[in-house]
Chain A
């Protein structure tokens, strides 16, 4: 684990892989709940966790450099099931990358248990990990100027669902009617970091 000071009062903690970042995130949330960690933001990402507005940065930098974090996130997190129609315009392209028939894309995707590794890009946009390495696909060479809200998409090691219409370069494989982001709801984001996710295939328009 490597710690990098950022600006006046932030610390970027870098680990070896995404699983370690998720475990460290869970550990840091626990420290905050216990009152041991005073911090404004805890932002998990692909291979780092950012502590922003951190009291006592020097102590945490020293402590985290030597800390043993339990390998797996020790808490059972809630499971969210998202109904999805596998009707995306890039199904054929993804099937070609995976070298499988088109219907296999839906089967593999729906059989996978995902975890929200981190959020970003837009409020409520989660980066979901879980697909095996052979199913990782590149971004589209030309991003779409408008991806509809609810589009279920793939890029690199991640799956994501667009919370609202926006430009985007991910490969679209399906559509969900689930409300990913609602500021009037608690929590506002359906897919917060650490949440487990399954996609449930549904038929229909």
Chain B
């Protein structure tokens, strides 16, 4: 067990260590952070026998290449992509054994954006405030992966899951986000509120772990002036001065001064994590529960 570590051969565009984040510190200015697609991360953890809060790798678009020093079991999920071990094709969405020293290649996503790589035992970097998540907004947690870096692994908790097949999510061709109104809907004109839920938006290439930015009609304010800074929730649809809605994701700031016109249902946010720049976004109004 002494050499349980992963060598990062190719880090990819943006690969970070993530777990379920660090809730409970928003009042100190600490984002919750954590995986953007929690169901995908929970599934790969389960496939390798990890508890659901074990740290995994979250890749962005072009995967990564890793070389474990010890023989490990891995599972790759989230955005579908080719997987190979020692140059031979291997299963996506299933436990795969990678012998010590063999190359695990997680290829570019064929759909969606964020891939998840779970290794039995989990990524065992030092936790910060109880979490191993990389928080890109405030710089907490481990730095994003870089070529040549070594990541420590934990001790496997249990046997890998015995599965024949797992549900294969299909990243959306159109992102449908159910929204409830407010809390600052009254800062916008009736027309802006109608525009948000009837006009066409697209995912902007400027989207990141902090927020899903959109392109589309600019939402018109009913009142000018500054909103005093107030607490923000995951999924808040904030409208900055350019009028284009931003949906706050895991690394969102904990307080902010632009009005929130609506809030996306938490259940719809994993799909937002997989939405490619350019795809249509529809905000569908629903009633509060």
Instruction: List residues of chain A with CB under 8 Å of any chain B CB.
Output: 4-8, 10, 12, 40-50, 52-53, 118-125, 127, 164, 183, 187-189, 192-193
Contact = CB atoms under 8 A, between A and B. Distances in A.
Nearest to B130: A183
Interface stretch (B24-32, B87-95, B99-107, B160-168): B24-32
Please indicate which of the listed interface residues B29, B182, B236, B253 has the most CB atoms of chain A within 10 Å of its own CB.
Answer: B29
A44 B29 CA distance: 11
Interface string B7-41: 00000000000000001111111100000000000
B229 A45 contact: yes
A42 B182 CA distance: 19
B231 A50 contact: yes
3 A-B pairs with the lowest CB-CB distances in the bound complex, closest first: A50-B231, A120-B255, A43-B231
B255 A12 contact: no
B233 A50 contact: yes
A12 B231 contact: yes
Determine the main DSSP class of B at the interface with A.
Answer: loop
Contact of B28 (A5, A47, A124, A164): A124
A41 B24 contact: yes
A95 B260 CA distance: 36
Contacts of B228: 45-48
B143 interface: no
Contacts of B30: 123, 188
Interface string B127-140: 01100000000111
A6 B198 CA distance: 21
B129 A120 contact: no
Nearest to B266: A8
Q: Name, among A49, A50, A53, A164, the residue most crowded by chain B CB atoms within 10 Å (CB to CB).
A: A50
Contact of A47 (B138, B230, B236, B260): B230
B28 A123 contact: yes
A40 B228 CA distance: 23
B182 A118 contact: no
Nearest to A189: B28
Contact of A7 (B29, B128, B254, B263): B263
Given A46-B228, A119-B254, A183-B128, A5 B29 contact: no
B265 interface: yes
Nearest to A120: B255
B28 A48 contact: no
Contacts of B229: 45-46, 118, 120, 127
Interface string B96-124: 00000000000000000000000000000
Given A123-B30, A124-B29, A125-B29, A7 B236 contact: yes
Nearest to A52: B233
